[in-house]
Amino acid sequence: MNPKPMLELENLRMYFPAKTGLGLRKPTSFVKAVDRVTLTINAGETLGLVGESGCGKTTIGRTAIRLYDPTGGRIKFDGQDITRMTRKELKPLRKSMQMIFQDPYASLNPRMTVGDIIGEAIDIHGLYTGAERTEVIAGLLERVGLAGDHINRYAHEFSGGQRQRIGIARALAVEPKFIVCDEPVSALDVSIQAQIINILEELQEKLNLTYLFIAHDLSMVKHISTHIGVMYLGRLAEHGKADEVYENPKHPYTRALLSAAPVADPDAAQAQKRIILEGDIPSPIDPPPGCRFKGRCAYAMGKCAEGDPELTDLGGGHKVACSLYV
Ligand code: SF4
């Protein structure tokens, strides 16, 4: 059976007007947060999207579910073109697309009860009322490993990991098909991170969910991802099946990220040669001509300055945007 695309992005662009030093907006200059990104996530899959802060990964997530109006390109969700849909047209689809946020302390109102937080989305979409609503919320809490009777407690009474479980229950309340997990474990203790990832994996299997899982490093998405996308300065540098990208990374930037990832086996860790990236990520307002990574790349050559390389399929859907492979 052919895989069913859940999210298709085609040449997606998301530019924001750049602020001047005085806070005035200069409409002629733009932050190119996402620049011509094309990718597909099939139903039931998880795309782990990684890159340094400011590379555009969160903007892709927000634009994909139309929290932002894209500057250009096309977004198809579950077969429907949603690129230019109005807020009213999007409303019935909102249930299907949810988001789990990075900071469980900031994303939940501490003065609301857990029942009100989870029930809010249920009420907006008019899904359940009365005793049935209470029963559904208690069931959701149990599904994420909390007690059903936590429903009347306030968010501030919970730890970071428990709050993230509440955030997951809130996203599940409207029975979504697709969830953007925006660095959902980055703010948590290492000991709690694996628990949250395990819950997300179990839920995916039971509910056939599709995830876009955003993280800043490759080790965090290793176990949950079926596919990996590596972003650099608004562009996709490499994309492919997770095993293929981890075992056979092609783009010099992916190799550098992988060389920095922690390795459990002490012998392997000693053998691993760390690639130190010199210099900072350039400004997305005026990206350098040619390959955007060339100022930090040990393999840069003359033709890297000539044009911004497009993704090339090296076989089996393993794509890389680098002149070394053209
Ligand atoms: Fe390095 Fe050139 Fe490839 Fe860019 S195109 S990653 S500068 S080798």
Total domains present in the chain: 1
Candidates 123, 7, 124, 118; CA nearest to 62 is: 7
pLDDT attached to residue 248: 96
Q: Please check whether residue 148 lies inside any domain of the structure.
A: no
Q: Average per-residue pLDDT in the chain? A: 91
Please give the Cα distance from 272 to 151 (Å, whole number). 48
Please give the Cα distance from 32 to 285 (Å, whole number). 6
Interval 99-107 mean pLDDT = 86
Q: From the alpha carbon of 297, which atom of ligand 1 is closest?
A: 1
Is the pLDDT score of 25 beyond 60? no
As a three-state string, the secondary structure of the chain is CCCCEEEEEEEEEEEEEEECCCCCEEEEEEEEEEEEEEEEEECCCEEEEECCCCCCHHHHHHHHCCCCCCCEEEEEECCEECCCCCHHHHHHHHCCEEEECCCCCCCCCCCCEHHHHHHHHHHHCCCCCHHHHHHHHHHHHHHCCCCHHHHHCEHHHCCHHHHHHHHHHHHHCCCCCEEEEECCCCCCCHHHHHHHHHHHHHHHHHHCCEEEEEECCHHHHCCCCCEEEEEECCEEEEEEEHHHHHHCCCCHHHHHHHHHCCCCCHHHHHHCCCCCCCCCCCCCCCCCCCCCCHHHCCCCCHHHHCCCCCCEECCCCCEECCHHHC
The CA 187 to ligand 1 mean position distance, Å, reads 32
Is the pLDDT score of 26 beyond 60? no
Share of the chain above pLDDT 90, in %: 75
Query: How does residue 13 score in pLDDT terms, banded at 50, 70 and 90?
Result: very high
Please give the Cα distance from 304 to 210 (Å, whole number). 36
Please give the Cα distance from 266 to 270 (Å, whole number). 6
Instruction: Dump pLDDT digits (tens) for 147-170.
Output: 988 999 998 899 999 999 999 999
Spacing of C-alpha 115 from chain mean position: 27
Spacing of C-alpha 288 from chain mean position: 25
The CA 36 to ligand 1 mean position distance, Å, reads 18
Sign of the alpha-carbon dihedral angle for 265, 268, 269, 270: positive
Query: How does residue 265 score in pLDDT terms, banded at 50, 70 and 90?
Result: low
The CA 302 to ligand 1 mean position distance, Å, reads 10
Spacing of C-alpha 104 from chain mean position: 16
Interval 38-56 mean pLDDT = 95
Q: Please check whether residue 229 lies inside any domain of the structure.
A: yes
pLDDT attached to residue 298: 92
Range of the domain at 50: 5-96+176-248
Please report, for the domain that includes residue 195, its CATH number. 3.40.50.300
Query: How does residue 29 score in pLDDT terms, banded at 50, 70 and 90?
Result: confident
Interval 187-209 mean pLDDT = 93
The CA 118 to ligand 1 mean position distance, Å, reads 46
Q: Please check whether residue 101 lies inside any domain of the structure.
A: no
Q: Please check whether residue 49 lies inside any domain of the structure.
A: yes
Is residue 13 within 8 Å of 32, Cβ to Cβ? yes
pLDDT attached to residue 226: 97
Q: From the alpha carbon of 323, which atom of ligand 1 is closest?
A: 5
Burial 118-131 (b: 16+ CB within 10 A, else e): bbebbeeeebbeee
Q: From the alpha carbon of 252, which atom of ligand 1 is closest?
A: 6
Ligand 1 atom 6: the closest Cα is on which residue?
322
The CA 146 to ligand 1 mean position distance, Å, reads 48
Is the pLDDT score of 92 beyond 80? yes
Is the pLDDT score of 271 beyond 80? no
Ligand 1 binding pocket (C-beta < 6 A) is 252, 291, 293-294, 297, 299-300, 304, 309, 322-324
Instruction: Dump pLDDT digits (tens) for 278-317.
Output: 777 888 888 888 999 999 999 999 999 998 999 999 999 9
Ligand 1 atom 7: the closest Cα is on which residue?
294
Candidates 68, 27, 53; CA nearest to 214 is: 53
If one residue of 299, 301, 310 were mutated to test the ligand 1 pocket, choosing by the most ligand atoms within 8 A of its CB, it would be 299
Whether the model clears a pTM of 0.85, i.e. scores above it, the answer is: yes
The CA 112 to ligand 1 mean position distance, Å, reads 50
pLDDT attached to residue 275: 80
Spacing of C-alpha 291 from chain mean position: 23
Q: Strand order in 80-81's β-sheet?
A: 25-42, 5-19, 72-77, 80-81
Interval 90-119 mean pLDDT = 90
Residue 126, phi-psi category: left (phi > 0), alpha (psi -120 to 50), beta (remainder): left
Burial 27-60 (b: 16+ CB within 10 A, else e): eeebbbbbbbbbbbbbebbbbbbbbbebbbbbbb
pLDDT attached to residue 24: 58
Please give the Cα distance from 65 to 78 (Å, whole number). 11
Q: Please check whether residue 265 lies inside any domain of the structure.
A: no
Q: Please check whether residue 226 lies inside any domain of the structure.
A: yes
Better pLDDT: 260 or 112: 112
Is the pLDDT score of 197 beyond 60? yes
Is the pLDDT score of 27 beyond 70? no
The CA 33 to ligand 1 mean position distance, Å, reads 20
Is the pLDDT score of 217 beyond 90? no
Q: Please check whether residue 241 lies inside any domain of the structure.
A: yes
Q: Please check whether residue 298 lies inside any domain of the structure.
A: no
